[in-house]
Structure 1
Amino acid sequence: MQKDSVAPNKDALQEEEEEAFVLTEDNVIDFFFKYNKTLKEDKVRITTDFGSFTIQLYDNVPYHKANFIYLTKKGYFDSTQFHRVVKNFIIQGGNSDDQATGEKRRAIGRYLLPPDANKGYKHHRGTISMPSSEVNNPHMLASPFEFFIVVTKPGSYHLDGDYTPFGKVIEGMDVVDKINAQRVGKGDWPYQNIYITKAEVVE
């Protein structure tokens, strides 16, 4: 007896292909170059246990801007934490010891971003910048899943040239200060988990 065959749903196949796409060292620059050209948005609101703040991203730091918006739209930052808090210096977010964060990273891909520190931006208070990967990284390539925000008044200018500023806090710096004031333990990890409950692109 001949078995009935069902034609595959084209939309479902397309969705499956899109879901299967992962970023790699080989495709990341080309992908974000094209992705950045499609972007009209340049602001991201980050909501935490202590309130929300808004970041405006710089247009002329295209790969870092595109990366941050892409990860935001993918929902990557949701439920990650500010896992490093250095008093009167920085708060660092985008990581977590939760298994779900590792799974999200694997689904998005494994890649680093080239530094782009020569656009004239300095690490003023409120600047958002990207840390370098600590693994086999003589060229100071940026770790794309994490970010830090400068709290120092007026800034932390010894970071200039080594890290890439790609935006600034334009609203809610008091929330950043509240996070920076939290009690921390060994390795600057806060005693109380500080979750990013939602990161969203805003007009």
Structure 2
Amino acid sequence: MNKSLLILAFSLLLASSCASEKDYLVTISTEYGTMYAILYDETPAHKENFLDLARSGRYDSTQFHRVINDFMIQGGDVFTQEGLPPDDWYTLPAELNPSLIHEKGSIAAARQGDRMNPEKRSSGCQFYLVDGKVYSEEELTTDIPKLQKAFTQYLQLDSNVELRENYRRLYQNQEIDSLNALMLSKKVVLEQFFNVNLELDKRKNQVEAYTTVGGTPHLDDGYTVFGKVIKGLEIMEKISGLETAPNDKPITPVYMDVNVEMVSKKKITREYGYKYPEE
């Protein structure tokens, strides 16, 4: 190999090494403060699409147009803001990954429902930030809809008058957490009485995340998670708690500006607390 080829090979190797030591830091600025995020390499199509929209300024002045307390905040409707015809609203193929879940702070792609969208393709622009809640392990690993059905049938027994009255009182007062606790307390009884299995399998990473930081586990494996807020979760919480009009739209519009810059991974870890997986 001649000298010029050696220099070229070394330069390419050095450039590749430097690139792997840096990552894109995303800033989502609102009047309530700024959130900082990273995007996952495991979802390359979603990552590059988000970066393209952000770098071109197309996310700027879009809104968080749908917010639900203790659930999520959704925004980035570039296509509507730009007045694009629906035929130009492109979608992205799903990039579902069992290691990327809807823990608190996750960034995921919005999409149409399964009936219209069986391939689970993502919106080309809209995304949401996960708020959610913390679950007990028993709650997380129980098939709640199946539990509710069995519990409702069990309440009809003449011998369960007192239990039925307790349930009615909690329901009237909308004490949802107490309602769930009451049903879960009868889980073993219901399994034995109806000869049913009310268990729900969850992966180790799901149990660890949802019983500590929390999130929205029922969305896992159905929507593409492609990033994570690593600083500024309190800003998301403020926005999710805003007063809303019909369709969960904030009464006072919440605008965003989105920017990206290349930052060393060491700095992201040092200043924002995000620890990169071992390469």
Unaligned runs of 5+ in 2: 1-18, 134-213, 264-279
Unaligned runs of 5+ in 1: 1-37
Name the SS of the counterpart of 1:42 in structure 2: strand
Q: Which residue of 2 aligns with 1:70?
A: 52
Q: 2:242 aligns with which of 164, 177, 182?
A: 182
TM-score for both structures, normalised by structure 1? 0.73
TM-score for both structures, normalised by structure 2? 0.54
Larger RCO, structures 1/2 (Cα 8 Å, 6+ apart): 2
Determine the C-alpha separation between the residues in 1 that align with 2:25 and 2:251. 30
**Residues 149 and 195 (structure 1 numbering): CA distance in 2 closer, same or farther, change over 3 Å?**
same
Decide which moves more: 127-136 or 71-80: 127-136
Name the SS of the counterpart of 2:91 in structure 1: coil
Cα RMSD after superposing both structures? 2.2
Determine the C-alpha separation between the residues in 2 that align with 1:96 and 1:201. 17
Q: 1:102 aligns with which of 68, 78, 82?
A: 82
**Residues 133 and 93 (structure 1 numbering): CA distance in 2 closer, same or farther, change over 3 Å?**
same
Percentage identity across aligned positions? 37
Matched, 1:199 2:258: yes
Matched, 1:123 2:102: yes
Determine the C-alpha separation between the residues in 1 that align with 2:78 and 2:100. 29
Amino acid at match of 1:70: D
Determine the C-alpha separation between the residues in 2 that align with 1:72 and 1:159. 25
Q: Which residue of 2 aligns with 1:52?
A: 34
Per-residue deviation, 1:117: 1.1
| Number of aligned residue pairs | 160
Matched, 1:172 2:172: no
Q: Which residue of 1 aligns with 2:200?
A: none
More helix by share: 2
**Residues 96 and 64 (structure 1 numbering): CA distance in 2 closer, same or farther, change over 3 Å?**
closer
Amino acid at match of 1:63: A
Per-residue deviation, 1:96: 7.1
Does the 8 A contact of 1:113 with 1:142 survive in 2? Answer: yes
Amino acid at match of 2:215: G
Larger Cα Rg: Structure 1 or Structure 2? 2
Does the 8 A contact of 2:66 with 2:250 survive in 1? Answer: yes
Deviation digits for residues 3-39 of structure 1 (CA, Å, limit 9, x no counterpart): xxxxxxxxxxxxxxxxxxxxxxxxxxxxxxxxxxx99
Name the SS of the counterpart of 1:67 in structure 2: helix
Deviation digits for residues 77-119 of structure 1 (CA, Å, limit 9, x no counterpart): 100000000110000011279x7x224x56xx53110111125
Per-residue deviation, 1:140: 1.4
Decide which moves more: 166-175 or 109-118: 109-118
Does the 8 A contact of 2:109 with 2:122 survive in 1? Answer: yes
Determine the C-alpha separation between the residues in 1 that align with 2:258 and 2:50. 10
Per-residue deviation, 1:47: 0.5
Amino acid at match of 2:39: L
Does the 8 A contact of 2:78 with 2:125 survive in 1? Answer: no
